[in-house]
């Protein structure tokens, strides 16, 4: 069974641009969560999706948004990039939203210049 796939693996953007990151969950998994990891703040929860609906959102500004498609694939978008958005963005999938084991992808490393 293929694991969680995140694309692209690396991305370089400049301030003010926007970016879209993609996540393909494990086949059969319907819940997708996103996390941001930085050296200063560690791993922080961004949002959680199940059946195309956002169920939970972390404490991030509205520039961070996401969506989930009917095939459970998910995208997250960051608009008007700031230097502080440089981070590793991780996606995790699980069977459903009931706190099952989460399987993480390798992440997308975003650098904002």
CB of 2 to other proteins, least distance (A): 15
d(CA 21, CA 93): 15
- For other proteins, the closer of residues 17 and 54 by Cβ is 54
CB of 47 to other proteins, least distance (A): 8
Closest CA to 75 of 23, 10, 3: 23
- Interface positions with other proteins (CB under 8 A): 4, 31, 33, 35, 42-45, 48, 50, 55-56, 58, 90, 92, 94, 96-107
Answer whether 81's CB lies under 8 Å from 112's CB: yes
């Amino acid at each position: 069974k293929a694991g969680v796939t995140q694309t692209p693996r690396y991305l370089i953007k400049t301030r003010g641009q926007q970016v879209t990151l993609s996540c393909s969950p494990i086949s059969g998994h319907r819940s997708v969560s996103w996390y941001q990891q930085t050296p200063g703040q560690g791993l922080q929860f961004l949002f959680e999706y199940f059946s195309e609906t956002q169920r939970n959102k972390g404490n991030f500004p509205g520039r961070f948004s996401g969506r989930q498609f009917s095939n459970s694939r998910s995208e997250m978008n960051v608009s008007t990039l700031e230097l502080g958005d440089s981070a590793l963005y991780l996606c995790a999938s699980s069977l459903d939203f009931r706190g099952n084991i989460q399987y993480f992808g390798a992440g997308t490393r975003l650098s904002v210049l």
